[in-house]
Structure 1
Amino acid sequence: MKQSLGAKPLVFPTPVWVVGSYDQQDKPNIMTIAWGGVCCSKPPCLTISLRKVTYTYGCITARKAFTVNVSTEQDVMLADYCGIASGKTADKFAATGLTPVKSTLVDAPYIQEFALAAECRLLQTVKLGLHTMFIGEILDIKADEAILGPDGLPDLDKLRPVAFGPVIRTYHGLGEYLGPAFSIGQNVEQSDDK
């Protein structure tokens, strides 16, 4: 029997993304978020949700751009710090030793040391209670060659992205490969004799 847990964001997992932006003084800033995901394939878009009180909220609103840097198991401590410290009072790039790279496509930096980054132009914002959802069109994906598979696309086993457990506040690796999508379930048939 299922037990009711109430209205909580307990849908697992969510990504651990480090969002890059510039402030009004052109200082590069990064912030870790866990409310995000892909929201459209054509045009390719993703969404991140931030509270208005965050420093990054103002940066993205002013610059109309951001990057999403995918946190990996190797980077998880740095990503955690970037979700604790505020860009208003801390230079997170200096504190972590990470390197900001100026995008040539959007007015936002990406992180050199993170293996996968999406450069996004802000398309729309949607206010949703405590958070505002920023919808960004992905103009390019930057990927280290070391994480690419034979097909030229990111290999999750090489990337090793981190997932976040909302409410319980824990980080997790993704786990083992289970099979190709849109293929392994093709022989499952529903029986009329249920």
Structure 2
Amino acid sequence: MNELLLAEVYRLVEPGPVVLLTTRSVQGRANVMAMSWHMMVEIAPPTIACIVSNNDLSFFALRQTKECVIAVPAVGLADKVVKVGNCSGRDTDKFAMAWLTPLPAERVSAPLVAECFANLECRVVDTRMVGRYDLFVLEVLKAWIDPAQTKPKTIHHIGNGGFVVDGEVIHFESRVP
């Protein structure tokens, strides 16, 4: 075994696909950010924990409105996801810049992303760890799936500009329902 720099540990345990998190400020401005630091917390109701840096414009909208959308892009959107992740919503309309289409959500003011194969309308249900870790706990209120996108493949960030595309599915017997 060789020693690994502690700054590289996150690359080993990245929890899931890169997603897009959308918000709408109380002033009405929509924003979108790329996010890969998130995880499922509960199945019913579906609850997700995510980290949104207090340096991000989305942090302030999420803190004010307590709602967002988590949109799940397929690999075909990877270039747009990277564009969104490489600029700030403070000085850029990221929807327009990345040619993404905001759609109205049903339960929250934040927009869905038309090009994504799934969209999850969420509300913040716990902010106790925001001050220390920028960690928000979200409950999914409504979930949408695009039936036209069959067998979408997601992208997973592995650091330093690298991504892995999900691949072959393998199945094993499961005793958990």
Scaled by the length of structure 1, what TM-score is found?
0.81
Letter of the 2:153 partner, please give it: R
Q: 1:134 and 1:13, CA in 2 relative to 1: closer, same or farther beyond 3 A?
A: closer
Aligned match of 2:2: 3
Separation (CA, whole Å) in 1 of partners of 2:109 and 2:47? 17
Unaligned 5+ runs, structure 2: none
Separation (CA, whole Å) in 2 of partners of 1:20 and 1:45? 17
Unaligned 5+ runs, structure 1: 149-157, 184-194
Q: What SS does the corresponding residue of 1:77 show, helix, strand or coil?
A: helix
Match of 2:63 among 61, 64, 77: 61
Aligned match of 1:174: 166
The CA deviation at 1:24 is 3.1
Separation (CA, whole Å) in 2 of partners of 1:112 and 1:182? 34
Q: 1:134 and 1:76, CA in 2 relative to 1: closer, same or farther beyond 3 A?
A: same
Could you give the per-residue CA deviations for residues 97-122 of structure 1, whole angstroms, max 9, x where no partner exists? 21111212112111011111111011
Q: 1:81 and 1:90, CA in 2 relative to 1: closer, same or farther beyond 3 A?
A: same
> Which has the larger displacement, 173-182 or 107-116?
173-182
Is the CA contact (8 Å cut-off) linking 1:14 and 1:165 kept in structure 2? no
Scaled by the length of structure 2, what TM-score is found?
0.88
Aligned match of 2:158: 165
Is the CA contact (8 Å cut-off) linking 2:26 and 2:61 kept in structure 1? yes
Is the CA contact (8 Å cut-off) linking 2:15 and 2:39 kept in structure 1? no
Could you give the per-residue CA deviations for residues 129-185 of structure 1, whole angstroms, max 9, x where no partner exists? 5x411111011111001245xxxxxxxxx111111114x4411111111125627xx
**Percentage identity across aligned positions?**
23
Match of 1:94 among 93, 96, 110: 96
